[in-house]
């Protein structure tokens, strides 16, 4: 499985700010969008371009245009919505395919409750976005969903990933690509990533926060 930990100084700085206890909803949201944009830049490096002949201000010239790659962004509700604006800043014309999954707090198994994919998934590159890859139950179920819809080219963008989850997704779906701002140490007994970010959904939406360590 292609796994890229994007160790760019801007990303490391912004992620460091996100890890502070007591960060405000506004700050967390802004930083989630900014890191998502930087991850998108990295994850789209291999898009192919073609030459296009245009009329420029000083005469004809040849420019580059992205070669017919159709992209759909796949935010996983709810926390994935926090990364969506940053990804759309980079790819404003992308179609958005929303999926909704929530982890059961006891079993840690994902419960799927929503799926609205755009058309022609078999022709598209899917960019899954979710801040946290913990046990990977949510990601495995999402990739299952996308493959069932015919999707063949899948990339996942995460703010933080746990080694346990990375091993699980590699075993289940070795053909996908993962881009993450950080590979953290481990999961705690509640399935939260350490040092992690805490509950990313709660931080993005300003809902209640549990002590989890
Ligand atoms: O890798 P896993 O162990 O499956 O955990 C990761 C999932 O947990 C969080 O979502 P959560 O279930 O809290 O839903 P929310 O976004 O609605 O808060 C997170 O945003 C991921 O989707
Ligand atoms: O650390 C974690 C794990 C799952 N979901 C989160 O929001 N944070
Ligand atoms: Mg949550």
pLDDT digits (tens, 9 = 90+) for 5-30: 999 999 999 999 999 999 999 999 99
Please tell me the distance from the alpha carbon of residue 43 to that of residue 46, in angstroms, as a whole number.
7
Tell me what the mean pLDDT of segment 72-83 comes to. 98
Whether ipTM tops 0.85, in short, is yes
Token pair 């201000």 is found at 57
Give the model's confidence band at 209: pLDDT under 50 very low, under 70 low, under 90 confident, else very high: low
Atom 8 of ligand 2, residue of closest alpha carbon? 199
Please tell me the distance from the alpha carbon of residue 176 to that of residue 51, in angstroms, as a whole number.
28
3-state secondary structure 68-81: CCEEEEEEEECHHH
Q: Which atom of ligand 1 is nearest to the CA of 80?
A: 20
Please tell me the distance from the alpha carbon of residue 49 to that of residue 146, in angstroms, as a whole number.
25
Predicted confidence (pLDDT) per residue in 97-154, tens digit: 999 999 999 999 999 999 999 999 999 999 999 999 999 999 999 999 999 999 999 9
Tokens of 120: 């022609």
Residue 130 marked as a ligand binder: yes
Residue 29 marked as a ligand binder: no
Close Cβ partners of 95 (under 8 Å, ≥ 6 residues apart): 70, 71, 72, 73, 118, 124
């Amino acid at each position: 499985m292609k796994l890229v930990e994007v160790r760019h100084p801007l990303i490391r700085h912004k992620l460091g700010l996100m890890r502070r206890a007591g960060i405000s909803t506004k700050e967390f949201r802004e930083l989630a969008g900014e890191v998502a944009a930087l991850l998108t830049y990295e994850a789209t490096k291999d898009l192919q371009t073609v030459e296009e002949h245009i009329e420029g201000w000083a005469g004809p010239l040849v420019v580059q245009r992205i070669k017919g790659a159709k992209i759909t962004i796949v935010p996983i509700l709810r926390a994935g919505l926090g990364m969506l604006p940053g990804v759309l800043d980079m790819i404003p014309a992308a179609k958005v395919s929303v999926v909704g999954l929530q982890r059961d707090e006891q079993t840690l198994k994902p419960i799927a409750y929503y799926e609205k994919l755009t058309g022609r998934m078999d022709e598209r590159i899917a960019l899954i976005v979710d801040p946290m890859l913990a046990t990977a139950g949510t990601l495995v179920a999402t990739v299952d969903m996308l493959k069932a819809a015919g999707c063949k080219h899948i990339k996942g963008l995460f703010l933080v990933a746990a080694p346990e989850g990375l091993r699980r997704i590699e075993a289940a779906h070795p053909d996908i690509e993962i881009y993450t701002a950080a590979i953290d140490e481990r999961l705690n007994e509640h399935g939260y990533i350490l040092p992690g970010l805490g509950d990313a959904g709660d931080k993005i939406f300003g809902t209640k926060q549990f002590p989890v360590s």
